[in-house]
Amino acid sequence: MSKSFPPFHVLGVLVVGAWLTLMALLVYRTEFSAHKGETADPIEAGSFEASHQTWREIFLKDRKVGYAVGMLRPFQGGYFVQEELFLKLNLMGLGRNLYALTQAQVDERLLLKSFQFMTTSGAVRFRMAGRVEQEGLLLSSGGRGEKRIPLTQPPMLGMSMSYFFLGRKVEVGDVFQLPFFDPSSLLQKNLILKVVGRETLTLRRIPYNVFRLETELFGKPMIFWIDEKGETLKEEGFLGFTAVKSSAAVAPMDLEGGGDLYELTAVVPDRPLKDPSRLRYLKIRLEGLGPLEPLRDGGRQRWHEGVLEIEREEIPKSFPYPLGVQEFPQEIKKFLEPEFHIESGHEEILSTAQGIARDDRNPVSVARKLLTWVYRHLEKKPVLSIPSALEVLRTRSGDCNEHATLLTALLRAVGIPSRISIGLVYTRDKFYYHAWTEAYLGRWVSMDATLDQMPADASHIKLLEGNLDQQVRIAGSIGEIKVSILDHRYD
């Protein structure tokens, strides 16, 4: 692994998630309440007899990094809706491009019938499709199985929301209730979108009289400005992304790429640490976590009144259990099951894992073999995508999220319960957002396939665990966390 390029970051998935939350893929069930305290009226959308197209420029901290074009046209008694996204970002000094396409068929009220989503960044591709049927949303991803999300009513895609406002009269004090679903999981969260006031918005030296709408997600504000016709002029979301109404002539021009996204989000402690790979104990004060709290995992981390102690765990010396015959309690057994992006039951994952493990029945030595294989066979480079273990196995490249996702799938494939951890890791005088794996070897043991560590050094600060639905929760802490070093010890 190149010493000049530490690929430690979950921002690839967060960048995609931030944009999808703001614009495209997250699924909403929208209810409209005309005034505070009134019951919600049935959803009614305006009538669009002709095609409608919108162009937006995308900025990251005042630098233009992309554009998006949306389209709605009548189709089979409802509408066909499409959104294309182009992003150009700098990650660890390397330019990375992202293209995403979302297409959907909706009814006359803009409620979802079916959708398909695709994103491409270099050689990495991700696809997802879904359709509403029998009070549920049935999702599929690249032919790798299906997942069903129960629904109380057909949802509304986020990209349809701007059309929902067109022609609708709003007033200060109106409230929109937006419970949403993340299509990659069963995560559901209620958003309250409020019309908080009237103000003047200036775009390209032209003033507009607008309504300001605000909501909050994971402790971070999201703001929308719409004019009196209901047209969305500006949006502000996660990670400093802003979208502004534009035109076909202007939107694609002069993409800058912005500052290095990894460096912009890194956490600088009050003093540096030397040789973090040898850290066996770290004591820090953590501030600015918001709704997050470091996970207490029974051994590695201890949290009390804002102070976190991390002690690198020991690998079991005895044979913890024989692979293939061990019965686990239900709270552990669930970490053996395939998940939507952790395709541990797919034949390619199974055959690869079995080829590495061979006849070894000791979970400790098998876990180490799988870790070493992932570390040696994956090219370490930043990507902007949603990780899939099967796709990573095929492309053999990615950053920490790809390493952790593939290792987790391989461990489960051989019968070792495993899960993904999300948090921070220290390198080059800063803490970076990072993902790694934990394997159950009689007790939970950390494994970092990006760094070839088992167990992981004590600079790994675990904030969350789980799949993509949990990983996006960390977005609320970006730019807020402060770390003070209180004590540390080495081997």
Task: Write out pLDDT tens, residues 161-191.
Answer: 778 788 788 999 999 876 565 544 445 566 7
Q: What residue has token string 């949403």?
A: 180
Residue 385 pLDDT greater than 80, yes or no: no
Domain with residue 476: its CATH number is 3.10.620.30
Structure tokens at 38: 């009134």
Residue 254 lies in a domain: no
Mean pLDDT along residues 390-405: 91
Residue 66: other Cβ atoms inside 10 A: 27
Q: Whole-model pTM? A: 0.81
pLDDT, residue 47, reads: 57
Quick one: average pLDDT of 96-117? 88
- Domain membership of residue 213 (yes or no) is yes
Cβ–Cβ under 8 Å, residues 99 and 88:
no
> Residues of 266-301 as b/e, b for ≥16 C-beta within 10 angstroms?
bbebeeebeebbebbebbbebeebeebebbebeebb
pLDDT at 295 over 70: yes
The stretches of 209-359 forming alpha helices (DSSP H) are 261-265, 330-333, 347-357
In a domain? residue 256: no
| Average pLDDT, rounded, for the chain | 83
- 205 and 327 in one domain? no
Q: Tell me what percent of the residues of the chain surpass a pLDDT of 90.
A: 49
Same domain, residue pair 332 and 206: no
User: Residue 23: phi, psi to the nearest 5?
Assistant: -125, -45
Q: Report the range out of 97-106, 137-146, 379-388, 472-481 with the highest average pLDDT.
A: 97-106
Query: What is the rounded CA–CA span in Å between residue 221 and residue 262?
Result: 21
Whether 370 is covered by a domain: the verdict is yes
Mean pLDDT of all residues in 66-75: 92
CA–CA separation, 112 and 81 (whole Å): 10
List C-alpha distances in Å: 29 to 152, 206, 386, 437. Answer: 9, 34, 24, 34
**What pLDDT is recorded for position 93?**
59
3-state secondary structure of 294: coil
pLDDT at 23 over 60: no
Residue 25 predicted with pLDDT over 50: no
pLDDT band at 284 (very low <50, low <70, confident <90, very high): very high
The pLDDT, as a whole number, for residue 43 is 46
Q: Residue 427 to residues 278, 424, 450, 454, 470: CA-CA distances in angstroms?
A: 12, 10, 13, 17, 24
255 located within any domain: no
Same domain, 307 and 235: no
Residue 37 predicted with pLDDT over 90: no
pLDDT of 414: 97
The model's confidence at residue 81, banded by pLDDT at 50, 70 and 90, is: very high
Q: Is residue 252 part of a domain?
A: no
Report for 21-30, 49-58, 258-267, 406-415: range of highest mean pLDDT: 406-415
**Does residue 425 share a domain with residue 482?**
yes
Give the confidence band of 374 by pLDDT, cuts at 50, 70, 90. Answer: very high
Same domain for 144 and 172, yes or no, is yes
- Answer whether residue 34 shows pLDDT above 50: no
Give the total number of structural domains in the chain.
Answer: 2
**Looking at the structure, do residues 341 and 465 belong to the same domain, yes or no?**
yes
Domain assignment present for 5: no
Q: Answer yes or no: are the C-beta atoms of 7 and 382 closer than 8 Å.
A: yes
Which residues lie closer than 8 Å to 127 by C-beta, 6 or more apart?
116, 117, 118, 141, 142
Question: What tokens does 306 get?
Answer: 């804002």
Judgement on whether residues 90 and 57 belong to the same structural domain of the protein:
yes
Domain end marker among 213, 246, 279 = 246
| Residue 132 sits in the same domain as residue 103 | yes
Query: Where among 246, 274, 308 does a domain terminate?
Result: 246
Is residue 422 within 8 A of residue 435, CB to CB? The reply is yes
At residue 289, the pLDDT reads 85
- The answer as to whether 6 is a domain residue is no
What phi and psi values does residue 472 have, to the nearest 5 degrees? Answer: -65, -15
Boundary of a domain, candidates 212, 246, 280: 246
Instruction: Examine the domain organization and report whether 186 and 277 are in the same domain.
Output: no
Q: From the CA atom positions of the chain, what is the Rg in Å?
A: 23
- For residue 46, give its domain range: 11-246
Residues 171 and 317 in one domain: no
**One domain, residues 292 and 203:** no
Instruction: Note whether 392 and 463 are same-domain residues.
Output: yes
